[in-house]
């Protein structure tokens, strides 16, 4: 096995990577992503990632401050206290927590339900702080760059199934960062050093052992919410419990547990748990097409917690499903008034207005939505609005952004983009070349690599000598009759050759193309 201390100089000599010391483990490792880059990545992706995971939980600012205080207490004793750590509570019922490079950490509302003490909260936060401090996210990116030559941003499936796989543009990177599954070594490091941080911050690290034991029991029970959340990226195991017990033996028990203070801080959240349960069941009912059940559940949620914007959104979605545009817009407006910095009611309002033919009004909502979280529906509809105004270049730009989503909307946007761009840049979609039949007649052949049918195609054939100098060219010719996607069309040039090898001296240029009617 090649040691890192030997391999790093070899890579440096190739001008690809730098070799550094991990700030947590103190081991030498490849470091292509600098600390400044880590911080920049975290800052750029923190907000869109939070948007895509339900947005910030804003109804109990004191609870968020509490989580932030515990997080900062742990961050202060970490191996990288200089990172600009941030901690937020997300409005998502799935039990989960995640960390981005640069110390950007999020804690789902749903996970707070499952904890029993401040020390358990510290165990989860300490674990996530280590992921940031030990560069686990950055190292994952470095592996991707080294192995593939480029970092591939995977589309993020948002919690709301109506927006699954619809995040586009630069925001897609956030999805990769928070849904990547850490390896066993990274999880072990996060457990070990997270417990060390707990001890240094005055918490009883025994909470990390009991919490991991709870997670193992929950994983064996196959609780779907955990399986789709925390366990997807942080799989529990008896091995992790055993390692935590070994770490605890070295650190020693003792320290704060904070059961009473935790119960006090989450009391308001716990009092509204049934409201969010009704909301989640209402969304599921709507997805199954049961609008009446969804409406009943949404109203139940509102009766328990009337301040929650998501519950108004659900009523808006129900009304939009029933094509009650005015009613839907009223509910979305309420949601916006309650929480003006969340993307979904804006994009849903834009969709409702667009469908109602009020495209100018729709545009402002769609732009606001994309500023918060760029999505395929937002850009696809903006593309149609721009195209309707004759702003082809802008429409093409919007369609191409929407097309980066692996979804039906993305595919439709790609087709629209191709329809706009193909007549302007036919050579991009219609590769062409010379072919000869058995009699030596040369044809100008065009392959339709687009996903739209093409009508007439205008081509010209150029002839070169052995030195690469053009010696002749045909007049412009038309391939008529249309070319279906994936098929080929051709036209006889009137030129004959004796040897098939002579085809190397001919080149076909596509000068123009029309879309089929």
As annotated, the active-site residues are 128
Nearest alpha carbon to residue 326 among 349, 360, 297, 343: 349
Chain centroid to CA 178: how far? Answer: 9
Check if the beta carbon of residue 277 is closer than 8 Å to that of residue 284: no
Neighbours of 177 (CB within 10 A): 25
User: Residue 189's closest CA among 256, 99, 116?
Assistant: 99
> What are the strands, taking DSSP E only, across 367-440?
432-436
> And the tokens for 193?
């050093």
- Using a 10 angstrom Cβ sphere, with 0-12 exposed, 13-18 middle and 19 or more buried, the burial of residue 455 is middle
Distance CA 19, CA 347 (A): 45
Exposure b/e, 52-71, CB count within 10 A at least 16 = b:
bbbbbbbbbeebbebbbebb
* DSSP letters for 328-374: HHHHHHHHHHH-TT-SHHHHHHHHHHHHTT-HHHHHHHHHHHHHHS-
């Amino acid at each position: 096995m090649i040691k890192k201390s030997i391999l790093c100089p070899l890579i440096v000599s190739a001008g690809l990577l730098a070799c550094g010391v991990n700030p947590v483990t103190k081991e030498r490792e490849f470091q292509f992503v600098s600390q400044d880059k880590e911080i920049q990545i975290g800052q750029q992706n923190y907000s869109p990632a939070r948007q895509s995971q339900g947005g910030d939980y804003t109804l109990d600012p004191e609870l968020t401050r509490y989580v932030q205080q515990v997080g900062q207490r742990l961050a202060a004793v970490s191996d990288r206290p200089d990172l600009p750590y941030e901690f937020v509570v997300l409005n998502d019922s799935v039990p989960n927590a995640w960390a981005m490079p640069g110390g950007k950490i999020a804690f789902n509302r749903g996970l707070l339900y499952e904890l029993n003490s401040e020390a358990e909260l510290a165990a989860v936060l300490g674990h996530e702080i280590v992921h940031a401090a030990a560069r686990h996210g950055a190292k994952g990116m470095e592996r991707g760059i080294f192995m593939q030559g480029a970092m591939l941003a995977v589309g993020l499936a948002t919690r709301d199934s109506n927006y699954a796989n619809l995040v586009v543009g630069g925001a897609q990177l956030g999805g990769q960062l928070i849904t990547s599954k850490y390896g066993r070594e990274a999880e072990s490091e996060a457990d070990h050093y997270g417990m060390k941080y707990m001890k240094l911050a005055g918490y009883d690290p025994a909470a990390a052992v009991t919490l991991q034991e709870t997670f193992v029991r929950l994983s064996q029970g196959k609780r779907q919410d955990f399986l789709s959340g925390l366990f997807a990226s942080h799989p529990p195991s008896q091995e992790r419990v055993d390692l935590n017990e070994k770490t605890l033996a070295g650190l020693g028990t003792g320290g704060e547990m904070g059961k009473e203070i935790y119960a006090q801080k989450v009391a308001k959240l716990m009092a509204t748990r049934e409201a969010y349960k009704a909301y989640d069941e209402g969304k599921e009912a709507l997805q199954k097409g049961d609008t009446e059940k969804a409406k009943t559940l949404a109203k139940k949620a509102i009766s328990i917690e009337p301040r929650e914007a998501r519950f108004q959104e659900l009523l808006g979605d129900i009304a939009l499903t029933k094509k009650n545009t005015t009613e839907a817009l009223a509910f979305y407006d309420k949601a916006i008034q309650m929480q003006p910095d969340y993307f979904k009611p804006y994009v849903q309002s834009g969709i409702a207005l667009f469908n109602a033919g009020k495209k100018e009004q729709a545009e402002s909502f769609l732009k606001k939505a994309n500023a918060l979280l760029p999505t395929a529906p937002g850009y696809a509809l903006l593309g149609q609005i721009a195209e309707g105004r004759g702003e082809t270049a802008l429409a093409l730009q919007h369609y191409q952004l929407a097309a980066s989503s692996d979804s039906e909307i993305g595919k439709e946007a790609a087709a629209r983009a191709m329809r706009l761009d193909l007549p302007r840049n036919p050579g991009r979609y219609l590769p062409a070349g010379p072919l000869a039949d058995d009699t030596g007649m040369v044809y100008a052949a065009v392959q339709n690599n687009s996903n739209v049918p093409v009508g007439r195609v205008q081509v010209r054939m150029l002839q070169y000598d052995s030195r690469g100098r053009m010696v002749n060219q045909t007049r412009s010719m038309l391939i008529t009759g249309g070319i279906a996607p994936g098929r080929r069309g051709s036209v006889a040039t009137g030129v004959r050759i004796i040897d098939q090898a002579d085809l190397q001296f001919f080149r076909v240029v596509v000068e123009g193309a029309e879309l089929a009617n």
